[in-house]
Amino acid sequence: MANPPWTRRHIISLSDFQPDEYDTVLQTAASFQEVLSRRTKKVPALQGQVVANLFFEPSTRTRSSFELAAKRLSADTLNFAPGSSSLTKGETILDTAKTYLAMGTDIMVVRHREAGVPLTIAQEMDRLQSRVGVFNAGDGQHEHPSQALLDLFTICTLIDEKPSLSLLADKKIAIVGDILHSRVARSNIWSLTASGAEVHLAGPPTLLPKLFAEFVTSSISAAQPQLARRLFLHWSLEPAIENADFVMTLRLQRERMTQHLLPSLREYHQQFGLTHDRLRSCRPAVKVLHPGPVNRGVEISSELMDDPTFSLISQQVTSGVAVRMALLYLMGSGKI
């Protein structure tokens, strides 16, 4: 490939991802997507390496996706189950990570309820001069890089079978829902603004505070000033999705209700729920994304979710395996 060699040991955040890194991920994922269409879907890339899934916060879909990606690269996988763990015996998270390091783990895939845990583990691994790569599989309300990268891959491969970041340069993309609490939104804001797309955030003021939006914009300005001008904020759905090429809607946590951040799920759906009707103001070829799992009838109507003309939800899951194979491969390839 024409891209420079991969140098990133850990995947923690997309905030400092460079355009050529996005392109390397996209192109590597495309080659693995091709592998997955073959009769033999496995490659020996990570044979003998160990991928440990340290999911301190339980998850079905993401853990299975990482596990399958690792297995298709021929890695051995270990699953850490927090319920039956030493954590209940008072061991710290770093001690757990160091135990898996000492066992010979090559890549740790970490999910935790608290923002910053994967970074803290990565820093400890570096301090110990280990060669372990740490992969943030979702940390609190901070980031979920592999989700944003699989969203990017899903969108780009729809536009061109050779995916690259620049394909989104003139697209309008809306992100709708609970922006404030969403690690998915945060990672997507980094990747989508980096692509040069127009990114429109929409949500009720309690879930998209002005202060938060200003913080995001100033963060992006600090990183890449020319991109911040392409981030827009809306407290209603319509202006965000008007003429949009893609609409990402986010999962609404039911606990937002009890926190008095929302009047009711029904009212939320009326204001921000996606339906066939609502999409009429978008571009005719508009596509809808959702990171899953979906609250049917809340973020999106059941009919729209199940309509393959508009919904990319199933493709997102499929892309997830290819993108995670690509990332594990890039992280691990320096070691083999």
What is the contact surface with a copy of itself in residues (CB under 8 A)? 36, 39-42, 47-50, 52, 55, 58-61, 64-65, 67-68, 71-72, 76, 78, 80-81, 83-87, 89-92, 95-96, 98-104, 251, 254, 292-296, 314-318, 320-321, 336
Long-range contacts of 234-239 (CB under 8 A, 24+ apart): 234/200, 234/201, 234/202, 235/202, 235/203, 235/204, 235/205, 235/208, 236/202, 236/271, 237/176, 237/202, 237/271, 237/272, 237/278, 238/281, 239/200, 239/202
Minimum distance of a copy of itself from residue 75's CB (angstroms): 10
Instruction: Report the residue number, 258 or 284, with the smaller CB distance to a copy of itself.
Output: 258
Minimum distance of a copy of itself from residue 43's CB (angstroms): 10
Minimum distance of a copy of itself from residue 40's CB (angstroms): 5
Minimum distance of a copy of itself from residue 172's CB (angstroms): 26
Minimum distance of a copy of itself from residue 271's CB (angstroms): 20
Instruction: Report the residue number, 100 or 212, with the smaller CB distance to a copy of itself.
Output: 100
Instruction: Report the residue number, 321 or 327, with the smaller CB distance to a copy of itself.
Output: 321
Between CA 189 and CA 167 the distance in angstroms is: 16
Instruction: Report the residue number, 47 or 236, with the smaller CB distance to a copy of itself.
Output: 47
Between CA 178 and CA 253 the distance in angstroms is: 8
Nearest to 168 by CA among 1, 16, 13, 22: 22
Instruction: Report the residue number, 76 or 242, with the smaller CB distance to a copy of itself.
Output: 76
